[in-house]
Amino acid sequence: MQGSLLTEIIIVLGLAVAVLFVFLRIRMPTILGFLLTGIIAGPGGLGLISAPQDVEMLAEFGVILLLFTIGIEFSLKNLLQIKRSVLLGGAIQVFLTIGIVFGVCKSFGLSYGNSFFIGFLVTLSSTAIVLKLLQERAEIDSAYGRITLAVLIFQDIVVVPMMICIPFLTGASGVVQVPPHLLLIKGSALIVFTFLCYKWLVPKLLYYVAKTRSRELFLLSIVFICFSIAGITYFLGLSLALGAFLAGLIISESEYSHEALGRILPFRDLFVSFFFISIGMLLDISFFLQYPGVILLIALGVILLKILTGSVASMLLGYPPRIMILAGFALSQIGEFSFVLSKVGTEYGLLTSTTYQIFLEVTLITMAMTPFMITLAPKVADIMAAHHVLPGLKRGLFRLQEELSPKKHLKDHLIIIGFGVNGKNIAEAAKESEIPNIIIELNPDTVHKEQAMGRPIYYGDATQEAILEVCDIHDARIVVITVPDVSSVRKITALARKLNPNVYLIVRTRYVQEVNPLYQLGANEVVPEEFETSIEIFSRVLTKYLKPSEDIQRLTSKLRSCGYQMLRSPSIESAAVCDLAINLPDFRILTVRLYAHSPFAGKKIEDIQMRKKYHVSIMAIRRGTDLILNPGAEDILLNDDELVLAGQTHFIDQLLPFLH
């Protein structure tokens, strides 16, 4: 038995690797790859798996971990303070879709419970596929990307109430089998238990676990909390998935949520892959070949219905026709959470085997069509605009004052890893300079204290990919690594460079011999404490010999310029930088702020004649978030402009009094 299960896991994983490799090369969603793996390996395909129930057992863990991570990502505060646009747009799309599907199903003679349940299945869209496509197209922050994200968030949240409602839909009479008073007692007990865990039990437990700094103990504690609460809800007669979601919510409000998410994500991805593979195994290809016309017609009807409901939701939020169309097309598929609901509904007898097969076939078709629908949407919008379709809705029915931003996304920010003396000084400087930043720290006492003071600091191990992704490293400008552990510094440097090839990496290390390896791993700048200490001692020695401060600054700059290059492996680029400092020792590039009382404020560059009179060039002007490179003679210098100047040191020194 054990050998058979191991053999089947090996077959499934090997086939999944091959299929996903092909899907990634042709830029198709990985979920479709998992489903295709199940179709090939299952009884309807090559029959490689003789006992699909073994794979389904692993899939159950995937569902639990999936709901657990959803709970972590949607904190209680976000659920209580969620944007009006998310609630309104999501509710319109969900309830309108359920209502239309319910009416259609009733007209075909289905029961009330079955009709409502099919409405649940159809209304949900694929968060995984849609967000991946929007991110690849860099449209997640566009107007239609924001409304699409809002509806998807609402759908993910409403999955839990739908699961709770499933037992109420069973039976021909629709009567709930559990006595109302017993259901009330169980629900009240669950709410009290969840509050106690959220307020006291779990934060205290994780605090003492984190103090041990044991990764293994932290992971085991997170898994224990997840499965324990899931087991309690199951004992109360509710679903395991609901308990996992509540466990995620409990952890989400603690300072350990980022670390918990980072630890659990690899396991979630593995087991969720088994879930989608198990769904694919249930697909009967011969069934599609028997009724291709019916299945394709239903799939087309679902796509058109969801385009309609998504567009109506966007319209009622006040968006113009183009945004309505783009959002509607993006939401036109049935999503992965519908698979989760379908398995629960099947257990309660809400889907017959025939209806279930139709659902599987239709869902796969709508998912596969999603990339093409999103690509087609702008063309449809252009055609409708050219023919003046919906002319009375140029700005939507009404406009909401609230900006749709269901999740705060950092961009062009600074990530500080490690909150020791160096990290704290950098964070203070960033705060003073109003630079958006986020801090990752492994000391739970420090995190707890600093979070209470309002600092953007989170508990987490930055050697984990998920931790850096949660901190939006893909859109960060600079990452500063100040952790003392040599091994961790190397891992974080390599990982940060892999996740964002364009980010500027500044790394602090204690030892000179670490400089070259860190540069090879992708660091842009490495600051060894040993070398900096020697420069500081050297400057103090020169001070005691009463050397001029200008000479001390010039010599220390020269040491840093050439010294750091000597610590690195020889290269053409490094030699050029060092030669520049040697051959032009008096050349200087400096950024200064232009104040209102400066005689240059409000004047054109040509009127100042800075290059002619002062022998200094303005290389760039930073004005707020704008950067003007190589400014022309007609450009006007304004108050609070930051000027990037280049010239000989003594000329710049002569010019500075006129700028301040």
Residue 506 has pLDDT above 70, yes or no: yes
Residue 583 has pLDDT above 80, yes or no: no
Specify whether the CB–CB gap between 28 and 247 falls below 8 A: no
Is residue 559 very low, low, confident or very high in pLDDT (cuts 50, 70, 90)?
low
Predicted pLDDT at 538: 66
Is residue 18 very low, low, confident or very high in pLDDT (cuts 50, 70, 90)?
very high
Question: Which of 214, 282, 244 has the alpha carbon at shortest distance from 53?
Answer: 282
Is residue 578 very low, low, confident or very high in pLDDT (cuts 50, 70, 90)?
very low
Do 366 and 232 lie in a common domain?
A: yes
Do 503 and 572 lie in a common domain?
A: no
Do 247 and 383 lie in a common domain?
A: yes
Distance CA 392, CA 517 (A): 63
Is residue 512 very low, low, confident or very high in pLDDT (cuts 50, 70, 90)?
confident
Specify the length of the chain in residues. 660
Task: Find all residues with CB under 8 Å of 492, minimum gap 6, and list them.
Answer: 417, 462, 463, 481, 483
Identify the helix (H) or strand (E) that includes residue 648: strand 642-648
pLDDT digits (tens, 9 = 90+) for 353-376: 888 889 988 988 898 888 889 888
Residue 640 structural domain: 586-659
Residue 236 has pLDDT above 80, yes or no: no
Is residue 101 very low, low, confident or very high in pLDDT (cuts 50, 70, 90)?
very high
**In the chain, what percentage of residues exceed pLDDT 90?**
12
In a domain, 182, yes or no: no
Do 599 and 566 lie in a common domain?
A: no
Distance CA 627, CA 447 (A): 35
Across-strand partners of 628? 621
Predicted pLDDT at 301: 95
Predicted pLDDT at 508: 86
Residue where one domain finishes, among candidates 392, 420, 435:
392
Is residue 10 very low, low, confident or very high in pLDDT (cuts 50, 70, 90)?
confident
| Mean pLDDT of all residues belonging to the chain | 78
Number of domains making up the chain? 5
Measured at the CA of 110, the angle between CA 104 and CA 111, to 5 degrees, comes to 120
Higher-confidence residue of 2 and 196: namely 196
Residue 243 has pLDDT above 60, yes or no: yes
- Span 220-224, average pLDDT: 89
- Span 255-267, average pLDDT: 80
Do 154 and 277 lie in a common domain?
A: yes
Predicted pLDDT at 532: 66
Residue where one domain finishes, among candidates 392, 420, 454:
392
Higher-confidence residue of 6 and 111: namely 111
CATH number for position 474: 3.40.50.720
Do 592 and 564 lie in a common domain?
A: no
493 φ, ψ (degrees, to nearest 5): -60, -50
In a domain, 443, yes or no: yes
Helix spans in 197-239 (H): 202-211, 215-235
Question: CA–CA distance from 441 to each of 428, 446, 461, 510 (Å)?
Answer: 15, 8, 7, 18
Do 272 and 310 lie in a common domain?
A: yes
Exposed / middle / buried, residue 110 (Cβ in 10 Å: 0-12, 13-18, 19+) = middle
- Span 541-551, average pLDDT: 69
Higher-confidence residue of 188 and 550: namely 188
587-593: strand order across its sheet:
587-593, 642-648, 616-623, 626-629
Do 163 and 304 lie in a common domain?
A: yes
Specify whether the CB–CB gap between 535 and 556 falls below 8 A: yes
Do 445 and 545 lie in a common domain?
A: no
Predicted pLDDT at 3: 53
Predicted pLDDT at 531: 62
Distance CA 322, CA 320 (A): 6
In a domain, 86, yes or no: yes
- 157: how many CB neighbours lie within 10 A of its CB? 19
Residue 108 has pLDDT above 80, yes or no: yes
Distance CA 63, CA 524 (A): 41
In a domain, 156, yes or no: yes
Question: CA–CA distance from 16 to each of 13, 67, 210 (Å)?
Answer: 5, 23, 36
Residue 382 has pLDDT above 60, yes or no: yes
CATH number for position 360: 1.20.1530.20
Question: 3-class SS at 62?
Answer: helix
**Alpha carbon of residue 504 to chain centroid:** 20
Do 590 and 563 lie in a common domain?
A: no
CATH number for position 629: 3.30.70.1450
Question: Which of 131, 129, 127 has the alpha carbon at shortest distance from 139?
Answer: 131
Do 204 and 128 lie in a common domain?
A: yes
Do 580 and 590 lie in a common domain?
A: no
- Span 80-108, average pLDDT: 84
In a domain, 106, yes or no: yes
